Amino acid sequence: MICLGIEGTAHTVGIGIVRDRPFGILSNVSSMYRPPSGGIHPRDAANHHASVFTDILQKALERANIKFNDIDLVAFSIGPGLGPCLRTAATAARSLSLYLKKPLIGVNHCIAHLEIGRAVTGASDPVLLYVSGGNTQVIAFMNGRYRVFGETLDIGIGNCLDKFGREAGMPFPAGPKIEEIARKGRKYVGLPYSVKGMDVSFSGILTAAINSLKRESMEDVCFSMQETCFSMLTEVAERAMAHTEKEEVLLGGGVASNERLRNMVRKMAEERGAKFYCPPGELLVDNGAMIAWTAILMKKSGIEMDIDETAIKQNFRTDEVDVTWRH
Amino acid sequence: METLIKKGAEAEIYLSEWMGRKVIIKKRVRKNYRIKEIDEELRKQRTKKESLLMSGARKAGASVPIIYDVDLSEMKITMQYVEGERIKDCIDDMDGKEQKKVCKKIGEGIASIHKSGIVHGDITTSNLILYKDRIYFIDFGLGEKSSEREKQGVDLHLLMEAFKAAHENEELFNWVFDAYEKNFEWADEVRKKVREIAERGRYMVRE
């Protein structure tokens, strides 16, 4: 089965073409919207997605070296995400599905991060630490569903870093720049460490970090912010592992590109005698391949969707999905 | 002689002896993934907080292990070892009358804790111990000083889920709540919260 998957939940629109047997990501093309200044306006991001869509579609087909008719299944990110972006991806997917006369499946974006991680790293039953701009969740499989064991109570970790970066005059996305500057930090500047059970919260750290820029060096603040936020994330991931008695931890989401976060989670896993997994960068960030692959799993387990079931779900929760493809 | 009896995500639990008594030592261990500045401060704060919550809940009338020693250099709390059985392991073997009696005590205990402005944060049937007609509350590691109805609701909701998951008698939680209601004037509001939380449907059953 060959599936074309369209990702479009936030700033990135991507198309991935995946084959199940033998497993292969035939192509995975994406384009990220970068606002000229400030944050992401959902409508501007959606306009960007629409304007580059045919271009990346062509590239995806070329790189996969297949024709339209080779596609057996069309998939798209049905949620959660920004409304205008979701609608753009959904509309494109519906048109393709109708045009090709092939079935259409809407995929939960967060679950797709987990499934592609399992597919390419060899993790079988991991706790996923999913860290991106809008989403920060600790997810694991239990009783037929992917349950959210912990999550952010306010903003996503990526959003926290981006907002700090904006205040500090860095371009979007700020994560890579903060990571670079943080390497030169030496002194730990106290920031509020906010873990509640298995949940985290970042808005207090954001405010405190911005305020401390008045007194402390940029290097030390970036360093301290990373240390605080990532320690929190590692701690809740560990708690979820202890709680669910799972012995694998998997990273997903763009923030997992950060070396320091990876090292912390790797170290935590080591000390627990657990296994650490992290997919390659292009599959960490939002991408079409993860949507395509998850749709294949869903389709093979018997899921079908009528066109009227493909309405987008901006607040689609991870644990709403009946995971028919796992037992 | 210290014997490791449990290893959690954050602490190790040892069985030991202290001045001729059988004791439990809860030791928060160093986490090497985080820098020393964060690690030490956290472990110190949490050790302090947990011991304060335990003595606070005890003063409020709930049965909680007595604290013998708090050591902030080694981040450990030495406390009374409570003999007896976890509710998780013994409630199914009781007859209805006994169960009702036990549930009443659990409800009264939670009410005392909540009245004193403390939430436990992890009331499962593994953290309740029956000893000589008293229900002991253990592990205040996720507790905090709070009188928020939401948090009180989380306490009860978790217990409800724990009963539902592992124990047959569906009346158990109702008995707990009846006693809670008689002893805590805001119980109505808490009940509403319990319902709300259940509808959100993301809180997971433990064990």
Catalytic residue among B89, B122, B139, B188: B122
Residue A255 covered by a domain: yes
Domain shared by A159 and A240, yes or no: yes
Q: Who has greater pLDDT, B124 or A292?
A: A292
- Mean pLDDT value of segment B75-103: 94
- The reported pLDDT for the residue numbered A10 is 95
Q: Is residue B205 one of the residues assigned to a domain?
A: no
Instruction: State whether A96 and A143 are in the same domain.
Output: no
Cα nearest neighbour of B144 on chain A? A196
Q: Which of A286, A240, A290 is nearest to A265 (CA)?
A: A240
Residues B89, B103 share a domain: yes
The whole-number average pLDDT for the span A80-96 is 97
Per-residue CA distances from A320 to A110, A115, A250, A310, B197 (Å)? 11, 16, 21, 15, 15
Q: Could you read off the pLDDT of A37-85 as tens digits, one per residue? A: 888 899 999 999 999 999 999 999 999 999 999 999 999 999 999 999 9
B181/B194 Cα distance (integer angstroms): 13
Instruction: Provide the pLDDT for residue B206.
Output: 41
What band does B198 get if pLDDT is binned at 50, 70 and 90?
confident
Tally the residues of chain B.
207
| pLDDT score of B203 more than 60 | no
Give the domain CATH number at B124: 1.10.510.10
ipTM of the complex: 0.89
- Both B92 and B68 in one domain: the answer is no
Q: Do A105 and A143 reside in the same domain of the chain?
A: no
One domain for residues B107 and B31: no
Among all chains, which residue has been given the structure tokens 């029956």? Answer: B130
pLDDT of residue B184 exceeding 80: yes
Question: Least CB-CB distance to B35: which of A142, A197, A227?
Answer: A227
Q: What's residue A180's pLDDT?
A: 97
> Do A193 and B34 lie within an 8 Å CB cutoff?
no
Percent of chain A with pLDDT over 70: 100
Distance of CA A234 to the CA centre of its chain: 17
Identify the band that residue B8 occupies on the pLDDT scale cut at 50, 70 and 90: confident
pLDDT of residue A36: 87
Note which residues in 31-50 of chain B have CB less than 8 A from chain A: 31-35, 37-38, 42
- Please say if B188 is a catalytic residue: no
Mean pLDDT of chain B: 92
Query: How far is A307 from A74, CA to CA, in rounded Å?
Result: 12
Q: With cut-offs at 50, 70 and 90, classify the pLDDT of residue A327.
A: confident
Q: What residues have CB less than 8 Å from A101, skipping those under 6 apart?
A: none
Query: Which residues of chain A have a CB within 8 Å of the CB of B10?
Result: 235, 238-239
User: Using CA atoms, how far apart are residues B101 and B97, in angstroms rounded to an integer?
Assistant: 6
Spatial separation of the C-alpha atoms in residues B111 and B108, rounded to whole Å: 5
Q: Looking at residue A218, which CATH number applies to its domain?
A: 3.30.420.40
From the list A95, A50, A108, A89, the residue with the least C-alpha distance to A68 is A95
Please state the rounded mean pLDDT for residues B131-144: 94
At B202, the pLDDT band (50, 70, 90 cuts) reads low
CB-CB contact of A235 with A195 (8 Å)? yes
- What are B167's two structure tokens? 């124990």
Residues of B in contact with A265 (CB under 8 A): 33
Does A246 have pLDDT greater than 70? yes
Residue B159: pLDDT band by 50, 70, 90 thresholds? very high
Residue of B nearest to A192 (CA): B38
Tokens standing for residue A307: 């066109």
What amino acid occupies position B104?
Answer: K
Residues of chain B positioned with their CB less than 8 A from the CB of A148: 202
Which of B32, B37, B204 is nearest residue A147 as measured by Cβ atoms? Answer: B204
Task: Report the domain count for chain A.
Answer: 2
SS (H, E, C) A123-177: CCCCEEEEECCCCEEEEEEECCEEEEEEEECCCCHHHHHHHHHHHCCCCCCCHHH
Per DSSP bridges, beta strands A199-200 and A195-196 are antiparallel
Is B18 contained in some domain? yes
- Whether B167 and B127 map to the same domain: the answer is yes
Contacts with B32 from chain A: Cβ below 8 Å: 267, 271
Distance CA B105, CA B110 (A): 9
Q: Kindly state whether residues B62 and B157 are assigned to the same domain.
A: no
Q: Which of B12, B29, B202, B206 to mutate to test the interface with A (most CBs of A within 10 A)?
A: B202
Instruction: Assess if residue A327 is contained within a domain.
Output: no
pLDDT of residue A257: 97
Q: Are residues B130 and B33 in the same domain?
A: no
Distance from C-alpha of A274 to C-alpha of A126, rounded to nearest angstrom: 10
Q: How far is B100 from chain A (nearest CA, A)?
A: 29
Q: Is the pLDDT of residue B148 over 70?
A: yes
pLDDT of B201 reads 58
Whether residues B31 and A235 touch (CB distance < 8 A) is answered with: yes
For testing contact with chain A, the best of B122, B150, B204 (most A CBs within 10 A):
B204
Tell me which of A27-31, A79-83, A197-201, B196-200 is least confident.
B196-200
CB contact under 8 A, B38 and A231: yes
| Domain housing B92 | 85-200
pLDDT grade, residue B200 (50/70/90)? Answer: confident
> CB under 8 Å to A32, separation ≥6 — which residues?
A11, A12
Q: Same structural domain for residues A299 and A154? A: no
Q: Is the pLDDT of residue B170 over 90?
A: no
Q: Of A266, A281, A296, which residue sits at a domain end?
A: A281
Domain contains A120: no
| A70 vs A243: which has the higher pLDDT | A70
**For residue range A170-196, what is the model confidence (pLDDT) as tens digits?**
988 899 999 999 999 999 999 999 998
Give the pLDDT band of residue B70 (cuts 50, 70, 90): very high
Q: What is the 3 state secondary structure string of A218-273?
A: HHHHHHHHHHHHHHHHHHHHHHHHHHHCCCEEEEECHHHHCHHHHHHHHHHHHHHC
Residue B133 has pLDDT above 70, yes or no: yes
Query: What pLDDT, on the 0 to 100 scale, is given for residue A38?
Result: 80
Domain range enclosing A203: 125-281
Interface contact B145, partner A, CB < 8 A: no
Confidence tier at A322 by pLDDT (50, 70, 90) = very high
Identify whether residues A152 and A262 lie together within a single domain: yes
Measured in whole angstroms, the distance separating CA A165 from the mean position of its chain's CA atoms is: 20
- Measured CA to CA, the distance from residue B128 to residue B82 in angstroms comes to 11
Residue of A133, A110, A178, A109 whose CA lies nearest to A39: A133
Residues of A25-58 as b/e, b for ≥16 C-beta within 10 angstroms? bbbbbbbbbeeeeeebebeebbebbbebbeebbe
Looking at the structure, tell me whether residues A274 and A292 fall in a common domain: no
3-state secondary structure of A19: strand
Query: Could you tell me if residue B207 is inside a domain?
Result: no
